[in-house]
């Protein structure tokens, strides 16, 4: 039994990468900082304040005053539902303790402008999301032998970026910027795999290593449960760190019009690694637990191209439009996981996660309707679902394709402003017909988000 458990641990850890990609996409779509968040995630060519270092660092030159401090706090309140379309059973996202939601995303940014140069640094929660379905839904029951395991189904992603940014104005109409990020990311994961999923991976040649023949010979296998959970408010079980960054350039042909191009680099992260427990379940619900260590090699956040337009129609009203294309297929078309047990067994698994490149359009408007009050509102639409239907996993949510945002900003004094906003994310339901390595039962996943936002800015 021991080799079998080692192997299934690897398959489980691989699925963690699916949750990672979906979670990280949310923050990119909704934008960083109070200005971009209010504009539906847009603002590449717009003055977005100190938080511009994570969108277009060239816009650090557009901060008001010589110094600017921004703080924003977002609470992710997910409403995720997975439906077994064969039985009508539903698994809904819940919240428990330090490991579960809601998920709080702080952002802090500080920028300095000196003549034709600007500099910035900050701390951004660039991803923070998870799902918790408890222990008594169909996600905790095997299809093979119909075993009710009582084991949890949940996942969580955390991603922190600390950028160092610089911007330069070589000409009155041009601004150029670059940012280098320190990236720290971690994953919590607990999920149940059915024996049919494991068999499909072996039969398709996606599972290799010394543990494969042992696994194939296990009788009366119903499933296996992997548990990489660190019940801590911030830290998770599987961790990684590395670097990322971006380039941006803004052309301003007239005082009212600006066009920008941006490129975000694919991250260079070390392998995610950590320890956890894997439980094998037989037809009588006998459970054998094995500790182990795994790695998620090649797991990176993808690169992206961006183009943006900002147009000031009057002194009090402006509109923005951004187009972003992200290369998720290069990072998550297939996901590889390597595992080595404490006594030396090894396994390498490639899961067809099926992520696609996606293109997102963001539109927003900014209206200063009173001297001390500004309203920002916007929305975004992603033209493709992130995953193919056959690659959808029941344990993880889909990325919301549509977002609506609004922020009301009150300037308390010349140097201080306070913002209060809300974002709502929603998507058409996504389906998996079942009978594959990502889901045995046919499933439908629905996902929507309600995210309150509080921000503060100080200029001096």
Task: Give the per-residue pLDDT at 127.
Answer: 60
| pLDDT surpassing 70 at residue 66 | yes
What confidence score (pLDDT) does residue 18 get? 39
pLDDT of residue 285: 92
Tell whether the model's pLDDT for residue 100 goes beyond 70: no
Q: Which domain holds residue 142?
A: 2-459
Distances (CA, A) of 97 to 238, 376, 420, 453: 19, 34, 27, 22
Tens digits of per-residue pLDDT, 376-424?
A: 999 999 998 877 777 777 666 666 788 899 999 999 888 999 999 988 8
End-to-end CA distance of the chain: 65
Q: What is the pLDDT of residue 288?
A: 79
> Which pLDDT does position 60 carry in this prediction?
97
Pair 50, 63: CB distance under 8 Å: yes
User: SS3 breakdown of the chain: % helix, strand, coil, rounded to 5?
Assistant: 15, 55, 30
Task: State the sign of the Cα–Cα–Cα–Cα dihedral 23, 249, 457, 320.
Answer: negative
Where residue 453 falls (left for φ over 0; alpha for ψ -120 to 50; beta otherwise) is beta
The C-alpha atoms of residue 118 and residue 168 are separated, in whole angstroms, by 7
DSSP string, 105-153: EEEEEEEEEETTEEEEEEEEEEEEEEEE--SSSGGGB-SGGG-B-----
Mean per-residue pLDDT over the chain, rounded: 84
**Distance, C-alpha 293 to centroid of its chain:** 24
Tokens of 262: 């941006």
In this prediction, residues 199-224 reach a mean pLDDT of: 78
Average pLDDT of the segment spanning 147-170: 90
Q: What angle do CA 337, 340, 341 make, to 5 degrees?
A: 130
CATH code for the domain of 286: 2.40.160.60
Q: Radius of gyration (Cα) for the chain, nearest Å?
A: 23
Inter-residue contact 174 to 250 (CB < 8 Å): yes
- Give me 168's structure tokens: 């330069």
- SS3 of 186, please? strand
Structural tokens at position 319: 């509109």
pLDDT in tens, 440-453: 899 988 888 888 88
Alpha carbon distance 377, 381 (integer Å): 14
Alpha helices in 328-421 (DSSP H): 328-332
Query: Quick check: 216 pLDDT over 50?
Result: yes
Pairwise CA distance, residues 60 & 79, whole Å? 35
Domain count, the chain: 1
Q: Residue 98 above 90 pLDDT? A: no
From residue 171, alpha-carbon distances to 53, 117, 253 in Å are 20, 12, 11
Task: Please answer whether residues 157 and 187 qualify as being in contact, where contact means their C-beta atoms are separated by less than 8 angstroms.
Answer: yes
β-strands 373-382, 402-411 pairing: antiparallel
Assess contact for 409 and 376: CB atoms under 8 A. Answer: yes
- Beta-carbon contacts of residue 396 (< 8 Å; ≥ 6 apart): 15, 18, 19, 22, 131, 155
Judge contact between 216 and 202, C-beta under 8 A: yes
| 97 vs 323, higher pLDDT | 323
CA 124 to chain centre: 13
């Amino acid at each position: 039994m021991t080799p079998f458990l080692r192997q299934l641990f690897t398959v489980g850890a691989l699925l963690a990468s699916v949750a990672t990609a979906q979670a990280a996409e949310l923050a990119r779509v909704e934008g960083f900082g109070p200005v971009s968040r209010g504009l539906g995630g847009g603002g590449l060519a717009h003055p977005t304040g100190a938080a511009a270092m994570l969108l277009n660092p060239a816009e650090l030159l557009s901060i008001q005053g010589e110094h600017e401090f921004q703080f924003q706090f977002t609470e992710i309140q997910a409403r995720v539902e997975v439906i077994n379309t064969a039985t009508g059973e539903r698994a809904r996202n819940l919240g428990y303790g330090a490991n579960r939601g809601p998920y709080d995303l702080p952002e802090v940014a500080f920028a300095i402008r000196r003549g034709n140069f600007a500099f910035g640094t900050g701390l951004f929660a660039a991803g923070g999301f998870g799902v918790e379905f408890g222990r008594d839904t169909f996600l905790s029951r095997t299809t093979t032998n119909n075993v009710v395991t009582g084991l949890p189904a949940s996942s969580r992603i955390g991603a922190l970026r600390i950028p160092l940014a610089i911007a330069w104005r070589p000409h009155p109409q041009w601004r150029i910027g670059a940012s280098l990020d320190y990236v720290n990311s971690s994953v919590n994961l607990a999920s149940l795999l059915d024996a049919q999923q494991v068999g499909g991976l072996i039969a398709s040649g996606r599972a290799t290593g010394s543990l494969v023949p042992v696994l194939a010979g296990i009788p009366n296998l119903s499933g296996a449960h992997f548990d990489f959970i660190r019940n801590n408010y911030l830290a998770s079980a599987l961790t990684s760190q590395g670097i990322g960054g971006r380039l941006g350039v803004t052309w301003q042909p007239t005082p009212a019009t600006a066009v920008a191009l941006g490129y975000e680099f694919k991250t260079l992260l070390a392998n995610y690694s950590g320890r956890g427990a894997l439980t094998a379940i037989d037809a009588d619900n006998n459970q054998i637990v094995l500790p182990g260590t795994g790695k998620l090699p090649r797991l990176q956040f993808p690169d992206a191209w961006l183009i943006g337009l900002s147009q000031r129609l009057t002194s009090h009203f402006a509109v923005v439009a951004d187009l972003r294309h992200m290369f998720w297929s290069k990072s998550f078309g297939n996901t590889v996981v390597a595992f080595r047990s404490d006594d030396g067994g090894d396994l390498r698994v490639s899961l067809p996660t099926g992520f696609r490149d996606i293109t997102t359009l963001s539109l927003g408007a900014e209206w200063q309707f009173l001297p001390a009050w500004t309203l920002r509102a916007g929305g975004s639409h992603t033209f493709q679902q992130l995953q193919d239907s056959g690659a959808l996993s029941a344990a993880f949510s889909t990325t919301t394709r549509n977002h609506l945002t609004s922020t009301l900003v009150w300037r308390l004094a010349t140097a201080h402003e306070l913002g209060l906003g809300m974002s709502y994310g929603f998507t058409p339901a996504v389906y998996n017909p079942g009978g594959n390595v990502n889901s045995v039962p046919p499933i439908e996943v629905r996902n929507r988000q309600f995210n309150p936002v509080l921000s503060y800015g100080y200029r001096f």
